[in-house]
């Protein structure tokens, strides 16, 4: 692949190309396009890409030489689960666990590490492997009960467990209405910024053959969704046409419409038409006209291409912020009927899980496990009270708090990063365009209360420093 070809790859194609090139690791699903392309061009190593994407960066130890494959005989359900899921040979077990580790994310806490440990130590002794497998079953079973995460659903069959429908409302809706190969209805995830709407949809999309994401803005036009001809090419599919074409070809596709309520005019009408299902021969279908000129084989006249895709293969997930301060236009009743709505907000359990994953990736433990996570959550809870009392404009989002942890140099740097990245977002502005002083003081006070010993440091912005260095 030439440098020009790599530069022309979209995000989805770049992810596919990186994996096809033999790279592995959970960082791939989180990396931005420019990082993926640098890896493909040899400008960045996989280790450096992992550091830039998820922090940490300690490469996994090379697997120990595998002895000649031999049957594994573990007692009871452990032996049966391993034998049924991954075969009876040590080499097969290790390969399957490696594959699983590349499919899952960082939650539930500790499961991925346990998989790696089990893969390395399964050859040591049957008793050690049995104990580790029992612990793994406990962790995954708890995850199934609490959240039904993608991690749990991937690993559960290996453990002989059936993934139950999640108690989390978003995951529950996605699992029921947007299952790969058995999609029933589009799902609309509504909530405040940083509540995990897009993250949840992307995690769900990892179960499908293809994941396609469309970022909607007020300027999005019908051709941005459907496609268009160019001076050198007869037609280039837009993401909506691409999703329909792949689903019609038999692949399972998850299509994310990010910031769906920002759609205007022609784009909104196209989405309404595309998500109008019809029934034929006992199956439900979606249909779109792409605008691509073709010759009708019956009339021998030019017409617009039509793509008909089975509903079961095309899961449509839309996200939107809610509230008067966002540039959104709620759809009419007809478009609302196309979706199963579900509301999500930042809540403590989810926030703690996400922050803990970033803390673990950075190796931050201080002297007490989860110390940094506890402090971040305490700050968030204090800000929640300030927002409820109208002393702050906006609640700190999971996105900003997790980024602050990822960008921190050490544990003591976390509150400085939180202030530096979030202050301008959470407070109002004066008529002069400066952060409101009293609100700045309350944010600093909340950080001091949550992080013992914290003292504001210069940010490099004198207008901010004169407000916080008091």
Q: Check residue 46 and give its pLDDT.
A: 81
> Residue 462 corresponds to which tokens in the numbers above?
């004198």
Number of domains the chain is built from = 4
Q: Check residue 18 and give its pLDDT.
A: 81
Q: Are residues 179 and 214 in the same domain?
A: yes
**278-280 and 283-295 beta bridge pairing:** antiparallel
More confident residue, 84 or 177: 177
Render pLDDT for 257-311 as a digit per residue (tens, 0 to 9): 998 888 888 888 898 889 999 999 889 999 999 999 888 888 888 888 999 999 9
Choose among 126, 63, 73: nearest CA to 95.
63
> Residue 214 corresponds to which tokens in the numbers above?
């469309």
Q: Are residues 187 and 335 in the same domain?
A: yes
**182-183 and 178-179 beta bridge pairing:** antiparallel
Q: Are residues 7 and 92 in the same domain?
A: no
Q: Are residues 380 and 452 in the same domain?
A: yes
Report the b/e string of 163-190 with b at 16+ CB within 10 A: beebebebbebbbebbbbeebebbbbbb
Q: What's 372's DSSP letter?
A: H
Residue that finishes a domain, picked among 327, 344, 361: 344
Render pLDDT for 386-403 as a digit per residue (tens, 0 to 9): 988 888 888 888 889 999
Q: Are residues 352 and 297 in the same domain?
A: no
Order the strands of the 302-310 sheet from edge to edge. Answer: 278-280, 283-295, 302-310
> Whole-number mean pLDDT of the chain?
76
Q: Check residue 368 and give its pLDDT.
A: 54
Residue 359 within a domain: yes
Choose among 373, 397, 374, 372: nearest CA to 384.
397
Q: Are residues 189 and 323 in the same domain?
A: yes
Q: Are residues 43 and 65 in the same domain?
A: no
Contacts 24+ apart (CB under 8 A), 441-444: 441/467, 441/468, 441/470, 442/386, 442/391, 442/392, 443/383, 443/386, 443/392, 443/419, 444/419, 444/468
Whether the pLDDT of residue 434 is over 70: the answer is yes
pTM comes to 0.58
Residue 334 within a domain: yes
What does the alpha-carbon distance between residue 194 and residue 173 come to, in Å, rounded to a whole number?
A: 19
CA 112 to chain centroid, in Å, comes to 17
What does the alpha-carbon distance between residue 7 and residue 9 come to, in Å, rounded to a whole number?
A: 6
Whether the pLDDT of residue 112 is over 60: the answer is no
Whether the pLDDT of residue 82 is over 60: the answer is no
More confident residue, 57 or 333: 333
Range of the domain at 290: 169-344
Q: Check residue 398 and give its pLDDT.
A: 86
What does the alpha-carbon distance between residue 352 and residue 369 come to, in Å, rounded to a whole number?
A: 13
Confidence of residue 15 (pLDDT cuts 50, 70, 90): confident
Q: Are residues 271 and 310 in the same domain?
A: yes
Q: Are residues 173 and 286 in the same domain?
A: yes
Q: Are residues 190 and 256 in the same domain?
A: yes
Q: Are residues 188 and 296 in the same domain?
A: yes
Q: Check residue 418 and give its pLDDT.
A: 93
Residue 422 within a domain: yes
Confidence of residue 138 (pLDDT cuts 50, 70, 90): low
Confidence of residue 435 (pLDDT cuts 50, 70, 90): confident
Average pLDDT value for residue range 418-423: 90
Q: Are residues 217 and 278 in the same domain?
A: yes
What does the alpha-carbon distance between residue 432 and residue 152 come to, in Å, rounded to a whole number?
A: 51
Q: Check residue 285 and give its pLDDT.
A: 96
What does the alpha-carbon distance between residue 163 and residue 70 come to, in Å, rounded to a whole number?
A: 30
Distances (CA, A) of 58 to 47, 61, 108: 7, 9, 20
What does the alpha-carbon distance between residue 457 and residue 469 come to, in Å, rounded to a whole number?
A: 7
Residue 55 within a domain: no
Whether the pLDDT of residue 149 is over 60: the answer is no
Residues 391, 396, 397: CA angle, nearest 5 degrees: 150
Residue that finishes a domain, picked among 344, 368, 399: 344
More confident residue, 432 or 261: 261
Q: What is the CATH number of the domain that holds 244?
A: 3.40.50.300
CA 306 to chain centroid, in Å, comes to 32
For residue 108, cis peptide bond before it (omega within 30 degrees of 0): yes
The alpha-helical segments, DSSP class H, found in 104-235 are 111-121, 126-146, 150-159, 169-177, 197-205, 222-226
């Amino acid at each position: 692949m030439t440098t020009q070809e790599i530069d022309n790859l979209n995000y989805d194609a770049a992810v596919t190309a990186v994996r096809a090139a033999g790279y592995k690791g959970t960082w791939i699903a989180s990396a931005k396009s420019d990082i993926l392309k640098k890896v493909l061009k040899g400008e960045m190593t996989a280790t450096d890409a992992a550091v830039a994407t998820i922090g940490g960066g300690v490469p996994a130890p090379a697997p120990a030489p595998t002895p000649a494959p031999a049957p594994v005989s573990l007692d009871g359900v452990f032996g049966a689960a391993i034998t049924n899921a991954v075969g009876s040979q040590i080499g097969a077990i290790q390969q399957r666990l490696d594959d699983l580790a590349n499919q899952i994310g960082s939650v539930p806490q500790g499961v991925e590490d346990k998989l790696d440990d089990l893969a390395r130590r399964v050859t040591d002794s049957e008793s050690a492997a049995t104990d580790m497998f029992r612990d793994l079953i406990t962790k995954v079973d708890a995850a199934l009960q609490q959240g039904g995460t993608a991690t749990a659903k991937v690993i559960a069959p290996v453990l002989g467990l059936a993934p139950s429908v999640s108690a989390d409302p978003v995951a529950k809706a996605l699992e029921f209405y947007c299952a790969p190969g058995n999609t029933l209805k589009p799902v609309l995830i509504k909530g405040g910024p940083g509540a995990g709407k897009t993250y949840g949809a992307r995690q769900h999309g990892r179960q499908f053959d293809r994941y396609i994401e469309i970022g909607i803005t007020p300027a999005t036009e019908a051709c941005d969704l459907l496609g268009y001809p160019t001076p050198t090419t007869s037609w280039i599919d837009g993401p909506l046409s691409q999703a329909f074409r792949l689903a019609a070809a038999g692949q399972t596709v998850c299509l994310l419409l990010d910031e769906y309520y920002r759609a205007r005019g022609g784009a909104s009408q196209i989405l309404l038409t595309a998500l109008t299902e019809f029934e034929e021969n006992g199956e439900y279908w979606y249909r779109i006209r792409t605008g691509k000129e073709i010759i009708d084989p019956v009339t021998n006249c030019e017409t617009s291409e039509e793509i008909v895709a089975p509903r079961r293969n095309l899961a449509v997930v839309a996200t939107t912020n809610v509230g008067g301060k966002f540039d959104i236009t709620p759809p009419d009743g007809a478009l609302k009927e196309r979706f199963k709505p579900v509301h999500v907000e930042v809540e403590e359990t989810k926030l703690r899980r996400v922050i803990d994953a970033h803390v673990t990736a950075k190796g931050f433990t201080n002297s007490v496990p989860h110390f940094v996570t506890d402090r971040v959550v305490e700050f968030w809870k204090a800000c929640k009270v300030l927002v409820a009392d109208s002393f702050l404009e906006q609640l700190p989002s999971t996105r900003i708090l997790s980024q602050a942890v990822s960008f921190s140099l050490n544990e003591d740097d976390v509150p400085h990063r939180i202030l530096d990245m979030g202050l301008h977002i959470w407070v109002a502005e004066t008529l002069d365009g400066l952060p409101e002083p009293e609100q700045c003081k309350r944010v600093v006070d909340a950080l001091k209360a949550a992080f013992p010993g914290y003292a504001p440091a210069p940010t490099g912005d004198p207008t901010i420093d004169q407000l916080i260095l008091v």
